[in-house]
Amino acid sequence: MGHRGTRGLAPENTLVSFQIANRFTPYFELDTMLCGSGELVVIHDETVDRTTNGKGRVSDLSLEEIQSLDAGAFFSEEFVGESIPSLRELFEKMPSNCIFDIEVKSEGEEKERIRLAEALIPLLKELKIENRVFISSFDSFLLGKVKEKNPSLLRGQLLDSVWKEEDWKVSEPDLILPNHRSVTKEWISQLHKEGYLVIPYTANEEADWIRLKEAGVDGIITDRPDLLLSYLEK
Ligand code: G3P
Ligand code: CA
């Protein structure tokens, strides 16, 4: 799965990043959160500071303000003029065979996280994309809300290096998305026995791909889908 499109080759989470990634794979990871005017936008950080020529919290800026920013120049001159897509726009512009891991992020209180789920679920339905996505998050409360609103959507629990099973099993995920450094063959085999698919993030080195493949993972999230594809073909 191309991480934020293809973060290693293009400005992360922009349309062009997904278009370039799509030369190598139809599977992508993206990050999304609500902006100030209520739309879901595709961006990783809580502010626009790192990836655009603007400043401010995503939750304080309208879609129009966010889309007036340049989201390509920070990566390289070649990408000047790229903008932050809304989730709707990204889904409308990408080919209909693409599969998305939608990582939902919310910095807010419970009601903000519920608002995010309430914006996401109808959008997926309207765009008829429910069977081509899964929803992932580190936030098991948010995953639980997604399940409440649409139990048939696949959900992936993201795990950092340290976690307690009782914290995430409550969200009853379909997939486990661990930090790739935590993966062992024994653990993958246990998770498979329990019925989970396992797709670790974010592995960019051949030595790690070999280790993960031997451990039996179901997929790999990478900044360089081009190199991972070459490795797999080799
Ligand atoms: O979804 C996997 C990975 O993207 C989680 O970490 O910080 O890159 O969103 P982060
Ligand atoms: Ca992510």
**What string of DSSP letters covers 106-155?**
--S-HHHHHHHHHHHHHHHHHTT-GGGEEEEES-HHHHHHHHHH-TTSEE
Is position 180 annotated as part of the catalytic site?
no
Which position among 1, 2, 3, 43 bears the catalytic label?
A: 3
**Measured between alpha carbons, how far is 191 from 54 in angstroms, rounded to an integer?**
43
Contact partners, residue 55, CB within 8 Å, separation at least 6: 47, 48, 49
Task: Please give the distance, rounded to the nearest whole angstrom, from the Cα atom of residue 229 to the centre of ligand 1.
Answer: 20
3-class DSSP state for residue 32?
strand
Which CA distances in Å does 144 have to 3, 111, 169, 191, 213? 24, 13, 10, 20, 30
Cβ–Cβ < 8 Å for 120, 155: no
Would you state the structure tokens that stand for residue 169, as one six-digit string? 């099993």
201 CB under 6 A from ligand 1? yes
Domain ranges of the chain: 1-97
CB atoms within 10 A of CB 197: 17
**Measured between alpha carbons, how far is 95 from 203 in angstroms, rounded to an integer?**
25
Is position 192 annotated as part of the catalytic site?
no
Pick among 3.40.50.720, 3.20.20.190, 3.40.640.10, 3.40.30.10: CATH of 1-97? 3.20.20.190
Please report the atom of ligand 1 found closest to the CA of residue 105: 9
Written as one letter, the residue type at 64 is E
b (16+ CB within 10 A) / e for 19-58: ebbbebbbbbbbbbbbbbeebbbbbbbebbeebbebeeeb
**Measured between alpha carbons, how far is 74 from 228 in angstroms, rounded to an integer?**
25
Mean pLDDT by 10 residues, the chain (234 residues): 98 98 98 98 98 98 98 98 98 98 92 96 98 96 94 95 72 94 95 96 98 98 98 94
Which CA distances in Å does 87 have to 40, 49, 108, 174, 209? 6, 20, 19, 23, 29
Quote the pLDDT of residue 93: 98
Cβ–Cβ < 8 Å for 131, 102: no
Ligand index nearest the alpha carbon of residue 13:
2
- The pTM assigned to this predicted structure is 0.97
**Measured between alpha carbons, how far is 137 from 218 in angstroms, rounded to an integer?**
18
Cβ–Cβ < 8 Å for 162, 144: no
Ligand index nearest the alpha carbon of residue 202:
1
Quote the pLDDT of residue 168: 72
Segment (H or E) for 92: helix 87-93
Ligand index nearest the alpha carbon of residue 42:
2
Q: Indicate which residue's Cα is closest to atom 6 of ligand 1.
A: 201
Task: Please give the distance, rounded to the nearest whole angstrom, from the Cα atom of residue 189 to the centre of ligand 1.
Answer: 23
Task: Please give the distance, rounded to the nearest whole angstrom, from the Cα atom of residue 44 to the centre of ligand 2.
Answer: 7
Which CA distances in Å does 187 have to 180, 190, 196, 217? 12, 5, 11, 10
